[in-house]
Chain A
Amino acid sequence: MKIRIGVIFGGRSVEHEISVISAQQAISAFDKNSYDITPIYITKTGKWYTGDALLNVDNYKNTDSLLAQCTEIYISPTFGDFTINAVQSSIWKSKEIAKIDIAFPIIHGTNCEDGSLQGLLELKGIPYVGCDVLSSAVGMDKIMMKMVLKESGLPVVDYTWFTDRSWHMDKQAIIEKINKIGFPVIVKPSNLGSSVGVSKAADEAQLIEAVELAGRFSSRILVERMVVDLKEINCSVLGDVANQNASVCEEPLGAGDILSYKDKYITKGSSSKGMTSTKRQIPANIPKEQAMLIQDLAKETFRTLSCSGVSRIDFLVDKKDNKVYVNEINTIPGSLSFYLWEATDKNFGQLLKTLIDVALKRQRERDNLVVSYGENIFNMSAGLSKSGKS
Chain B
Amino acid sequence: MENPLFLAALAVLLVYAFAKLRFELHMMQLNSYRNDRYFKWLKTNVLQGTRVFEAITLAITGILLLTAGAVVTAAAFILLYGLMAYLLFVKKQKKPVVFTQRAQRLFGLTFVLSAVAALAFYLATGKIMCTLWVGGFALLLSFVLIALATILIAPVEKSINKWYYNDAKKILEQRPDLIIIGITGSYGKTSTKHFLYRMLSEKYNVLMTPGSYNTTMGVIKTVREELQATHQVFIVEMGAKQPNDIKEICDLVHPQIGILTAVGEQHLESFKTIQNVQKTKFELIDALPSGGLAVLNADYEFIANRPVADRETALYSSDNEKVDFYIKNLSYTARGSSFSVFNKGKHLADFDTKLLGSYNLSNILAGYIVARHLEVPDSSVAFAIKKLEPVQHRLEVKVHANGVTVIDDAFNSNPVGSKMALEVLKGIEGQRKIIITPGMIELGEKQEYYNTILGEHIADTCDYAILVGKNITLPIMKGLKNKSYPDNKIYVAQNFKDAVNHLGGMTRAGDVLLYENDLPDTYEL
Instruction: Look across to chain B and name the residue whose beta carbon is closest to the beta carbon of A34.
Output: B229
On chain B, the residues within 8 Å of A390 by CB distance are 400, 402, 404, 406, 500, 503-504, 507, 513
B518 pairs with A386, CB closer than 8 A: yes
B500 pairs with A389, CB closer than 8 A: yes
B515 pairs with A387, CB closer than 8 A: yes
- Chain A interface: which size bin? 10 to 19
Q: Which of A2, A388, A389 has the most B CB atoms < 10 Å from its CB? A: A388
B497 pairs with A4, CB closer than 8 A: no
Instruction: Look across to chain A and name the residue whose beta carbon is closest to the beta carbon of B204.
Output: A364
Given the complex of chains A and B, what is the CA–CA distance between A3 and B400 in angstroms?
48
**B275: interface (CB < 8 Å):** no
Instruction: Look across to chain B and name the residue whose beta carbon is closest to the beta carbon of A357.
Output: B205
Given the complex of chains A and B, what is the CA–CA distance between A368 and B513 in angstroms?
30
Given the complex of chains A and B, what is the CA–CA distance between A387 and B516 in angstroms?
9
Task: Write the nearest CB–CB distance from B308 to chain A, whole angstroms.
Answer: 33
On chain A, the residues within 8 Å of B174 by CB distance are 1
B387 pairs with A368, CB closer than 8 A: yes
A1 pairs with B406, CB closer than 8 A: no
On chain A, the residues within 8 Å of B500 by CB distance are 386, 389-390
Given the complex of chains A and B, what is the CA–CA distance between A390 and B501 in angstroms?
9
Choose from B198, B230, B497 the contact partner of A102 (Cβ within 8 Å): B230
**B393: interface (CB < 8 Å):** yes
**A101: interface (CB < 8 Å):** yes
Given the complex of chains A and B, what is the CA–CA distance between A388 and B400 in angstroms?
10
Given the complex of chains A and B, what is the CA–CA distance between A380 and B507 in angstroms?
27
**B410: interface (CB < 8 Å):** yes
Query: Hey, what's the 0/1 contact readout for B379-391 against A, CB within 8 Å counting as 1?
Result: 0000000010000
Choose from A1, A2, A127, A386 the contact partner of B497 (Cβ within 8 Å): A386
Given the complex of chains A and B, what is the CA–CA distance between A360 and B229 in angstroms?
12
Asked if A101 meets B201 with Cβ closer than 8 Å, knowing A383-B521, A387-B393, A388-B410, the reply is no
A101 pairs with B515, CB closer than 8 A: no
Instruction: Look across to chain A and name the residue whose beta carbon is closest to the beta carbon of B511.
Output: A390
On chain B, the residues within 8 Å of A389 by CB distance are 500
Asked if A368 meets B410 with Cβ closer than 8 Å, knowing A1-B229, A4-B229, A386-B500, the reply is no
A388 pairs with B229, CB closer than 8 A: no
On chain B, the residues within 8 Å of A360 by CB distance are 205, 230
Instruction: Look across to chain B and name the residue whose beta carbon is closest to the beta carbon of A127.
Output: B230
Given the complex of chains A and B, what is the CA–CA distance between A80 and B496 in angstroms?
43
Given the complex of chains A and B, what is the CA–CA distance between A138 and B189 in angstroms?
45
For window 497-513 of chain B, which residues contact chain A by CB distance below 8 Å? 497, 500, 503-504, 507, 513
27 pairs, A vs B, C-beta closer than 8 Å: A1-B171, A1-B174, A1-B229, A2-B229, A3-B229, A3-B230, A101-B229, A360-B230, A364-B206, A368-B198, A368-B201, A368-B387, A383-B521, A386-B496, A386-B518, A387-B408, A387-B410, A387-B515, A387-B518, A388-B393, A388-B396, A388-B398, A388-B406, A388-B410, A390-B402, A390-B404, A390-B500
